[in-house]
A = this chain, B = another copy of it.
Amino acid sequence: MAEYDLHCFAQSGNAYKVALMLQLNGADWQPHFVDFFNGGHRTPDYLAINEMGEVPVLRHGDVTLSQTGVILHYLVDQFGTFGGETPEEKREILRWLFWDNHKLTSYTATLRFMRMFAKTGETPVTEFLEGRAKIAYKVLDNHLKGSDWVAAPRATIADLSLCGYLFWPDEIGADFSAYANINAWLDRIKALEGWVHPYDLMPGHPLPETG
């Protein structure tokens, strides 16, 4: 049995945020596949673990955790890495975690879902999501001007959270060439020792052919 059990699937950038934290810390962890594309996150068994019906869930001994922002903070306490050193840094990390959940991941993940998995084609909804995502890219790109990392002079869980979906620009339909600071920051994350692409870190990729 591994020390950490992560309920996840390869296409989940939210699960990737946590998997990457475990990976970069060389943790003893094991993925448990959630069959999201067949409703595996809405079964009674899964809802008993997480009433929110979302991936990921992390189990560590008697502790069961959901919401990536909570899990990442918990792992900072476990490993003593990627956290804030002062109250100001801790607040800055939390600030970007909230912003990620509300303004970046919320739009990029849904936009990718529509285009890549629901295959809706271009609709008023994808247009809406893309507009919101572009506002977020601009905020992040401006913020990274002159800074290597988002919330401290080193990589923190804010970086690991914000990058969750951004290694899939083609699947989102995003072009980061106009956002040089985002591109350079993603390259810095890729250069962290132990970095792995989400599709190489969690089970369920590629999806079975559906027709």
Contacts and interface: CB of A to CB of B under 8 A. Distances in A.
B103 A91 contact: no
Contacts of A183: none
Interface in A161-210: none
A154 interface: no
Contacts of A53: 139
Contacts of A97: 98
A123 interface: yes
Interface in A98-117: 98-99, 101-103, 105-106
B70 A95 contact: yes
A52 interface: yes
A102 B106 contact: yes
B101 A98 contact: yes
A16 B127 CA distance: 29
* SS class, residues of chain A in contact with chain B: helix
Contacts of A68: 98
Nearest to A92: B70
Contact of A91 (B74, B102, B124): B74
Given A51-B143, A124-B124, A73 B98 contact: no
Interface string A75-96: 0000000000000000100110
A69 interface: yes
Closest 9 CB pairs of A and B: A101-B102, A124-B124, A67-B98, A69-B98, A67-B95, A125-B128, A101-B101, A70-B95, A70-B94
11 contacts: A51-B143, A52-B139, A53-B139, A65-B91, A67-B98, A70-B94, A70-B95, A97-B98, A101-B101, A124-B124, A124-B125
Given A67-B99, A97-B98, A102-B102, 4 more contacts: A67-B98, A69-B94, A102-B105, A125-B128
